Every structure is written in C-alpha cells, then in structure tokens.
Amino acid sequence: DGETEAMTFDPSTKTYPRVRHLFFTKQKRILVTGGAGFVGSHLVDRLMKMGHYGNVRNIEHWLGHPNFDLIRHDVVDPFKIEVDEIYHLACPASPPHYQANPIKTVKTSFLGTLNMLGLARRTKAKFLLASTSEVYGDPEVHPQPEDYWGHVNPIGPRACYDEGKRISETLTYSYATHEQVDVRVVRIFNTFGPRMNPKDGRVVSNFIVQALHGEPLTIYGEGSQTRSFQYVHDLVDGLIQAMMGGYTLPINLGNPQEFTISEFATMVQEKVGGQVQIQYLPAVEDDPKKRKPDIMVASKEIAWTPKFSVEQGIEETIQYFKLLHDL
Ligand code: UDP
C-alpha cells in the first residue's frame, strides 16, 4: 500500500529509491502553499516524483506537466479548490524578510492559516501546518521538547513571526477540536540547502556567499549563540512522514547537531577553503541564545531522524551556490 510508505531520499546515492508502490498509490490532489519557496519547492519535487497531483505557486520546471497546476494567489485572501491534503508553508521565514513588513507577516500567519483551515474543513482535506522552532522563543529549556511552552517576547522585533506561528498553531488545534479537521503540526528548526536565496539574510546563505566572495563572515554578537541546522531533504522526508502518519500533536523536525555560530563560521570557511576572517557586528535584538531540537517524538511517532550530516549538506549547498550565475 503506497499510502503508508514515504519515499525518502538516500544521502549516499543522492537518489530516491525506486518504489513499486508508486504505481498503486492513489493519486491525491495536494495543495502546497508557499510551493515556490525554498522548502516548498523541494516538497513539490518529492510529491510530484511520488506521482501526486500538485497545486502550487511557482515551480517553473513542473509547468506544463499534466499533474501540475500553478496558482498565483495570496493566502491572506480565501480561495476555493478541491483538495485532499494541504501543506501550509506560505510565510516569509528569514528574520530580515519577516521583519521588513511585520503587519504582512502577522496577516499571512493568521489570515493565511485561517483561510487554509477553512478550505481544509470544507473539502475535508488533511491539513499540515509548517510551524517553527521560534515558538520556543529564547528558550530556557535545552534542548527543546514539544511540551515546552516557550519564552517569547510578544512585542519584540521577532514577535510578528513567533506569535504569528503560535496563533497559527492555536487556530489549527481549534479547527481540529471544534471542526474535526485532521491536522498535523511540525515545528521546523533551521533548515538550509540548494535554492536558498543568496540574499535570504540567514546565517547559512550569508556565510557561504561571503566565503565564496572572499569576504569576512559577519557574526552578530559574540558568536556564542547556538543553532542546529538540518538539510532540506531531511525536512521534506519529515513533512511527508508527518502527513502520512497518525500523530496529530506538534512534532519537532530538526537536526540535533548543534553549533555555536563561531564554530559554524569556521566549518563553512574550511569547506569553501581559504583563511577564516570574521567581522563582528552588533548582536540583534531578542536573538535566541541557543536552539536544539529534542526529536524523540519524531523518532517514535513517525520514525524520522535526519540522515544527512550537516557537513554533507553544507558541501552540497556550497556547490549549488558556486553554480549560481548572479551570485
Ligand atoms: N547570524 C550571524 N550572521 C549572519 C546571519 C545570522 O551571526 O550573517 C546569527 C543570528 O544572529 C542568529 C543565527 O546566526 O543567532 C541564526 O540566524 P538566522 O537568521 O539564520 O536564523 P534564526 O535562527 O535566527 O531565525
């Protein structure tokens, strides 16, 4: 039965296993909001390769494929469509981007999620919310398990995103309880990989682009803050396994391999080659001091653990950025 088995990416061969069940899998109509984004486009690739039918926003290489529809639409406005599953990813996720227009970020989080849950209710579609490790804020518990309630400044510069995602979770479970929507919530920790925008502004793309240009790597603050980075192919496995599995409470998806930002700068510079040069810039307000996922729930409930080391993912991402013409 193809519906019970995710098609996971094999890091050693960098391929998807050939799966007989593909041909027996019931084709589903799947809506991916944010399908043109960094994570969304990788998810769409995987779903299309599994033989599903997609509706997304901007995936050029699938345009013209009979199983693919492109919808250009802002999730802040409702729309009607018949679907079986919704992966709700649409939202800016990089701090400089989501802080550039905080009102739009809040509207996207709240109204976008409200609209997609309304759609899920009407069409009886399964609904997966892409939430975030930012719901834990600047955590006082380390690593962060799903039952930690978080430590978020509700009026700080990150609030539009953090509180936006927290209310998205609240909405999602309200629809589950009161409208019988079949929901999944994943809390995504820092994710990187090919197709990140070089101007994304997050640490992985900044450091790789700076190292490739021979510029010093910019560290905000002292560099003692930590993050745990996962390769996007692992995340996509987790998204699909969460949707397929029966567990409805929040699930952390992240790689527990933890780096200080200083260690991470050294690692990236060594992979690119050349001398490590650092430019220290002022710390950003409300920057979480540490972050690392507890992934017991993912491992137990959806049999998910990351397969890629951060180093392998970084090497492949460096190769991707090297080939970009407009870097
Ligand atoms: N950071 C940094 N230099 C950069 C970009 C980010 O030192 O050029 C730091 C940032 O202050 C944070 C960490 O790297 O502590 C991760 O930042 P990012 O924006 O990638 O993601 P976040 O986890 O903060 O959402």
DSSP 51: T
135, 205, 258, 261, best to mutate for ligand 1 pocket (most atoms within 8 Å of CB): 261
Task: Identify residue 31 by its one-letter amino acid code.
Answer: L
* Cβ neighbours of 58 (radius 10 Å): 16
Q: What is the pLDDT of residue 118?
A: 97
Question: pLDDT (tens digit, 9 = 90+) per residue, 86-119?
Answer: 999 999 999 999 999 999 999 999 999 999 999 9
Question: pLDDT (tens digit, 9 = 90+) per residue, 224-248?
Answer: 999 999 999 999 999 999 999 999 9
Percentage of the chain beyond pLDDT 90 is 77
Dihedral angle over CA of 253, 257, 261, 267, nearest 10: -120
220, 259, 290, 317, best to mutate for ligand 1 pocket (most atoms within 8 Å of CB): 220
Which residue has the CA at smallest separation from atom 5 of ligand 1? 203
Question: pLDDT (tens digit, 9 = 90+) per residue, 43-71?
Answer: 988 988 887 755 444 467 787 788 777 78
Q: What is the pLDDT of residue 18?
A: 47
Q: What is the mean pLDDT of residues 289-294?
A: 98
What is the value of pTM for the model shown?
0.93
Q: Are 272 and 323 in contact (CB under 8 A)?
A: no
Question: pLDDT (tens digit, 9 = 90+) per residue, 26-45?
Answer: 688 999 999 989 999 999 88
Pick the atom of ligand 1 nearest to 220's CA: 7
Structure tokens at 315: 């090497």
161 assigned to active site: yes
Cα-to-chain-centroid distance, residue 123: 25
Ligand 1 within 6 A of 219 CB? Answer: yes
Which residue has the CA at smallest separation from atom 21 of ligand 1? 202
| pLDDT class of 190 with cuts at 50, 70, 90 | very high
CA of 196 to the centre of ligand 1 (A): 14
Set 53, 161, 175, 231: catalytic member: 161
Mean pLDDT for all residues in the chain: 91
Question: pLDDT (tens digit, 9 = 90+) per residue, 152-178?
Answer: 999 999 999 999 999 999 999 999 999
Residue 17 has pLDDT above 60, yes or no: no
Q: What is the pLDDT of residue 16?
A: 62
Pick the atom of ligand 1 nearest to 204's CA: 20
Residue 3 has pLDDT above 50, yes or no: no
d(CA 174, CA 208): 41
d(CA 121, CA 176): 9
